[in-house]
Amino acid sequence: MAVGEPAAGPVATEGRARTHADGVCRCPWPGETPDYVAYHDTEWGVAERDHRALFEKLILDGFQAGLSWLTILRKRENFRHAFDGFRPELIARYDAAKVAALMADAGIVRNRAKIEGTIRNAQGWLAIMESEPGGFSEMIWAATDGRVRHNSWRSIVEVPAETAESRALSKRLKSHGFTFVGPTIVYAFMQAVGVVNDHLTDCYRHRELGGG
């Protein structure tokens, strides 16, 4: 069980939302770490519908597997530079020389399987954009019928690591050749890009993002 980035993301030691030093009540998982707090306050759970931006976040969540989200967050600009702004049309054409250059880049996570998986995922993204009505974004948002699902969790112990929707979306992505898109990674992705609003109900962002 976890929230924010389930399973491999921010690990919270308290289950309920809590008031931080600045007097604001937030989900417990960012703690007082400035990077996490800023991410929680400005990005996590904000509805994203841009095709490329969704691709970027899914790839970064895949790179996070086995690591902390803070590691990826702090390397995100390096990743963007190394992967040409996460433009799938460029990544899909990467060759062995580019893979070798990425494996030598200390600014990113140098995992060959994940790097090569990113290339396959870019190819899958291009195929989806050509074959799926509404493209990549609509396919992602179809998991919740195109609308944000506002959950009503009071504690992170209530938040699932995966759901029927994340399992179905994981299966659909894999059918297009995607890798590192297991149902737990996919649910973390759905939370991060606002397909579901999993801010705890006592967190100020839950209401700001449209929760009751």
Which of 78, 130, 122 is closest to 104 using CA atoms?
Answer: 78
Whole-number pLDDT of residue 7: 34
pLDDT at residue 107 greater than cutoff 60: yes
Question: Is 8 within the bounds of a domain?
Answer: no
Average pLDDT over every residue of 142-167: 96
pLDDT single digits (tens) 117-129 = 999 999 999 999 9
The total of structural domains in the chain comes to 1
Please give the average per-residue pLDDT across 45-58, as a whole number.
98
Average pLDDT over residues 153-158: 94
Determine, yes or no, domain membership for 1. no
pLDDT at residue 49 is higher than 90: yes
Residue 87, domain member (yes or no): yes
Residue 160 lies in a domain: yes
Q: Is residue 65 part of a domain?
A: yes
**Nearest alpha carbon to residue 121 among 69, 66, 186, 67:** 186
What does R_g of the chain's alpha carbons equal in angstroms?
17
The pLDDT of residue 14 is: 56
In a domain, 52, yes or no: yes
Taking the CB of residue 167, how many other CB atoms lie within 10 A of it?
A: 15
Q: Is 40 helix (H, G, I), strand (E, B) or coil?
A: helix
Give the integer Cα–Cα distance in Å for 207 and 203: 8
CA distance 79 to 102: 10
CA angle 128–133–139, rounded 5-degree value: 60
Question: In this predicted model, which residue has the larger pLDDT, 79 or 13?
Answer: 79
141 inside domain:
yes
b/e map 110-120, b = 16+ CB within 10 Å: ebeebbbbbbb
Q: Find the CATH number of the domain harbouring 56.
A: 1.10.340.30
Structure confidence at residue 4 as a pLDDT band (50, 70, 90) = very low
pLDDT per position as a tens digit, 188-204: 999 999 999 999 999 99
Residue 55 lies in a domain: yes
Host domain of residue 109? 19-208
Q: What token pair was written down for 174?
A: 């894999």
